Chains A and B, each alone.
Chain A
């Protein structure tokens, strides 16, 4: 088995087709006729533009507009004034067009590759693609035509260039394997858009795999199985069918309400880390955003983002969600993250230390900037604020007081905001769970953060391999805590959601339905599967599961019982 990075989901079984990029060879010439070489270069650029324009149109029509833009990007790069003037300069020195193109492109490839930024690094692949194509045009080298591949082909190449990917007929290609590339390379984006399983970054794939041999491409786990035996073939064929059936079944849940089998409607939201992620939530039919982590705004930079910058980011997410609720969690960060300008010291026990709301309330000037940006953004949609790591009601009161002050200031300046802005608590500490009744009197909503709640309840550091085995949301203690939080919220009449991984867990869902959870917030790609799982249960069935589970005394028993009932 060969390992790589699974960048496009699904399973493909087919015959290997090794694609070797035609290598244009040329003899570097100096002392050339400048006029002749300039004309050759300009003609090649014209040809490049013409063929790529046609290609971009084809990709836009068959794959999508964003994917077509990748090809248009190449057209723009070859016309770039800087790149052109550098190439012309080289030609003026007497170099032949091929040599000029190669030298200048190599400079850019090196420049992009050396930048410590994944996206910029990937642009080196674009320039390599442009260089190869320009040299092919200049030397008249014939290129491989991937549109001619036969049905059931698994493409194997050193690197899949965007221009190669663009020619693929998605009906005939069942898998893609390359030696280079990562999740963010254009080839990966195109493979996902065409829904072809792909595993990239498989070392020496071109040498190890042989033309026409059978191969399995497991895009889920990033695995490639060379020469699968009959058993393996049957196994992956079944997986492939299951995957396709699952995908089609999920597609039927698009546009449906999220409700239990007996018709109780609940909210199904998505978790996001950047405003742009909201588009993904919307595309998976999420009904809102249950957790907008704001940390990204503060990371990888030299000073804190100002109010306007934050305001724009929050507003952008709200506009994308078009009036659906967006719950913004204020900064949740501590000494385990390096953010130099915040002056956080490395702590022995960062997760029990100076972090999240504790840091924010101790730095009110800093925190106020974020709160003000949030309150201002509330004018542009249905926004709610969520306070992380609360352990006492004083913290919630302090935040509400700050928000009241901000509102008064905005009133004076006649700046609009949502007068009914909701302020809720993220319940993720045992303390908050135990005083859920107290908090519920003053919070507008609860959201249970199961990841941290589990860690804090069981006193387990997830990153410590010696104790990691204790970390489980199915522990009787954690399940009781979740039940307690939901019950207290219900009796106080406030909505309660969950934004941890447990909300999308098929084993947990019957329990959450039984306890009465109002809102499930999950990663965008889990939205439809969660909707499907919720639709499986009636309240009565879910109650039976919960009743059984609450009588069991160990995590092991609970897991095996849940598996028995749910995965039967």
Chain B
């Protein structure tokens, strides 16, 4: 299992477009991926759960990957969040 913390910097946080981009980018990795905030942990491959979690700009989240290709998945996830989801 690998994990890394990162702060959401795009203005809208995990809303529709960012969540879609995120899931699209990581869903190809077979490992389990979750997004953990100070008060909850959600399935990183589920757009619905990411949106429902309502994670705002400025929140520090921990990305946790567990399983096959976990390192690649983590790198992709972190790079995407750091880039502000290419917004």
Which listed residue, A117, A275, A276, A296, touches B54 by the CB 8 Å rule?
A117
With a CB–CB cut-off of 8 A, which chain A residues contact B58? 297, 301, 305, 309
**Complex Cα gap A111–B50 (Å):** 12
With a CB–CB cut-off of 8 A, which chain B residues contact A112? 51-52
Total contacting residues, chain B, CB less than 8 A: 25
Assess whether A80 is in contact with B54, with CB atoms less than 8 Å apart: no
Assess whether B56 is in contact with A301, with CB atoms less than 8 Å apart: yes
Which listed residue, B17, B47, B59, touches A77 by the CB 8 Å rule?
B47
Q: Please tell me if B11 contacts chain A, counting CB pairs below 8 Å.
A: yes
The verdict on A80 contacting B11 (CB below 8 Å), with A72-B20, A300-B56 known, is: no
With a CB–CB cut-off of 8 A, which chain B residues contact A70? 16
Total contacting residues, chain A, CB less than 8 A: 33
A83, closest chain B residue (CB): B48
Assess whether B47 is in contact with A115, with CB atoms less than 8 Å apart: no
B7, closest chain A residue (CB): A309
With a CB–CB cut-off of 8 A, which chain B residues contact A123? 16, 51
The verdict on A119 contacting B12 (CB below 8 Å), with A301-B56, A301-B58 known, is: yes
With a CB–CB cut-off of 8 A, which chain A residues contact B46? 80-83
Interface string of A100-134 (1 = CB under 8 A from B): 00000000100110010101100100100000000
Which listed residue, A82, A297, A300, A316, touches B43 by the CB 8 Å rule?
A82
Interface centre among B9, B46, B52, B56, by most chain A C-beta atoms within 10 angstroms, is B9
Assess whether B56 is in contact with A108, with CB atoms less than 8 Å apart: no
Q: Please tell me if A274 contacts chain B, counting CB pairs below 8 Å.
A: yes
Q: Please tell me if A442 contacts chain B, counting CB pairs below 8 Å.
A: no
Q: Please tell me if A401 contacts chain B, counting CB pairs below 8 Å.
A: no
Q: Please tell me if A141 contacts chain B, counting CB pairs below 8 Å.
A: no
Interface string of A255-277 (1 = CB under 8 A from B): 00000000000000000001110
Residues of A within 8 A of B (CB): 69-70, 72-73, 76-77, 80-83, 108, 111-112, 115, 117, 119-120, 123, 126, 274-276, 296-297, 300-301, 305-306, 308-309, 312-313, 316
Residues of B within 8 A of A (CB): 7, 9, 11-12, 15-17, 20, 23-24, 43, 45-49, 51-52, 54, 56-59, 84, 87
15 more contacts with CB within 8 A, not counting A276-B12, A301-B58, are A73-B20, A80-B46, A80-B47, A81-B43, A81-B45, A82-B49, A83-B46, A108-B52, A112-B52, A115-B52, A120-B52, A276-B11, A301-B56, A301-B59, A309-B9
